């Protein structure tokens, strides 16, 4: 019996690592060999694609361009790092890609107008960012198929629904129908990225990121022109809603600060006038008593 009991103990001793370094590794990873590279529970390091490396580089450069184009986030301040999303933003300048790309650590695939590929810097950036061209009227079938494939793969797609840069005094230009039909067909949540004005160097630029919003009331329905127009109006309404939330947070605070400053100035003037009246009354008590 004693010999039978010793047999398993001797087998266990044979499996123990011989060197102190192997014993330490075995204690950490709890593996018979003491080799962490053979531990099946250890997750292999993810290999980034060229596109992921490019967007990671852009994020690292954020500290540099924040000196020239400082951004301040409002609304949803965490990164959208999980699941497919359609980012809908208003469009003032080419720099609008910066706050849009900063919405996530993951790559953001831009739907860009075809004319950008005619300019070398724009074509270079679009190629690096895996952007794809689209007709401005939102009727580009090839671009829609590409966007649907990306969303089904869990990627993020950015669309400037106005179709071009807004150089007017209006808050928004008339919207194109691409974002609404894409969101309904793929049942993908929409994120609104709203800005009050064009980005300017060395001035704080305020950006509002919304909570994910879905057009779930249209899921499963036949996409008629009337239904798409109705969905576009819902998107436009949400754009206005998020725009005015940002406007209240930025300009509302400025107005309240201005009002508080004016009240403080008025109170100071009133206190000064009261002290002056008291001094005059102390100098001429007879006149003050007759009054």
**Please, what is the average pLDDT of the chain?**
81
For the chain, the maximum distance between any two Cα atoms, rounded to a whole number of angstroms, is 124
Residue 95's pLDDT band (cuts 50, 70, 90): confident
156-159 β-sheet, strand order: 71-75, 205-209, 190-195, 85-89, 156-159, 108-113, 132-134
Q: What is the percentage of the chain residues whose pLDDT exceeds 70? A: 77
CB proximity list for 123: less than 8 A, separation 6 or greater: 116, 117
Residue 58's pLDDT band (cuts 50, 70, 90): confident
What pTM did the predictor assign? 0.70
Condensed to tens digits (0 to 9), the pLDDT of residues 103-136 reads 888 899 999 888 888 888 888 888 888 899 887 6
Question: Quick check: 98 pLDDT over 90?
Answer: no
Distance CA 54, CA 128 (A): 7
CB proximity list for 235: less than 8 A, separation 6 or greater: 88, 161, 175, 179, 180, 190, 215
Distance CA 286, CA 291 (A): 9
Bigger pLDDT: 179 vs 64: 179
Residue 178: both structure tokens together: 């691409």
∠ Cα 182 140 176 (to 5°): 60
Residue 150's pLDDT band (cuts 50, 70, 90): very high
Distance CA 98, CA 207 (A): 11
- Specify the 3-state DSSP secondary structure of 157: strand
* Residue 234 burial class via C-beta count within 10 angstroms: exposed 0-12, middle 13-18, buried 19 and up: middle
Condensed to tens digits (0 to 9), the pLDDT of residues 173-188 reads 988 878 999 999 999 9
Q: Are strands 205-209 and 190-195 parallel, antiparallel or unpaired?
A: antiparallel
- Specify the 3-state DSSP secondary structure of 170: coil
Distance CA 58, CA 98 (A): 9
The predicted structure's pLDDT at residue 201 = 85
Condensed to tens digits (0 to 9), the pLDDT of residues 249-276 reads 888 876 666 666 766 777 787 778 778 8
Distance CA 170, CA 41 (A): 57
- The full DSSP string for 93-134 is SGGGHHHHHTT-SS-EEEEEEGGGGGSHHHHHHHHHTT-EEE
Which region among 19-23, 151-155, 236-240, 269-273 has the lowest average model confidence (pLDDT)? 19-23
The predicted structure's pLDDT at residue 69 = 83
Q: What is the mean pLDDT of residues 55-73?
A: 83
Distance CA 258, CA 23 (A): 69
Question: Quick check: 215 pLDDT over 90?
Answer: yes
Highest-confidence segment of 169-173, 190-194, 199-203: 190-194
Helices within 2-90 (DSSP H only): 2-15, 20-29, 50-60, 62-68
Condensed to tens digits (0 to 9), the pLDDT of residues 10-52 reads 544 555 555 666 665 555 555 444 444 444 555 555 567 888 8
């Amino acid at each position: 019996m004693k010999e039978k009991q010793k047999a398993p103990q001797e087998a266990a001793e044979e499996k123990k690592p011989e060197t102190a370094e192997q014993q330490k590794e075995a204690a950490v990873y709890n593996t018979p060999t003491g080799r962490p590279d053979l531990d099946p529970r250890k997750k292999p390091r993810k290999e980034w694609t060229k596109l992921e490396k490019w967007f990671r580089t852009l994020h690292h450069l954020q500290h540099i361009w924040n000196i020239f184009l400082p951004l301040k986030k409002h609304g949803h301040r965490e990164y959208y790092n999980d699941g497919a999303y359609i980012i809908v933003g208003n469009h003032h300048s080419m720099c609008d890609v910066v706050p849009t790309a900063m919405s996530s650590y993951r790559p953001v695939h831009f739907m860009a107008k075809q004319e950008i590929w005619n300019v070398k810097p724009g074509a270079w950036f679009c190629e690096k960012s895996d952007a794809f061209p689209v007709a401005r009227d939102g009727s580009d079938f090839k671009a829609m198929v590409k966007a649907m494939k990306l969303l089904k793969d869990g990627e993020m797609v950015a669309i400037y629904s106005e179709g071009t840069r807004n150089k007017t005094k209006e808050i928004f230009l008339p919207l194109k129908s691409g974002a609404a039909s894409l969101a309904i067909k793929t049942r993908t949540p929409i994120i609104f990225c709203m800005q009050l004005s064009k980005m300017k160097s060395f001035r704080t630029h305020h950006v509002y990121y919304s909570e994910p919003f879905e057009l779930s009331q249209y899921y499963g329905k036949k996409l008629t022109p009337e239904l798409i127009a109705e969905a576009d109006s819902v998107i436009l309404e949400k754009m206005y809603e998020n725009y005015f939330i940002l406007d209240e947070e930025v300009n509302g605070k400025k107005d309240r600060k201005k009002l508080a400053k004016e009240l403080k100035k008025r109170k100071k003037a009133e206190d000064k006038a009261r002290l002056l009246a008291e001094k005059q009354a102390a100098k001429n008590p007879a006149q003050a008593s007759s009054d």
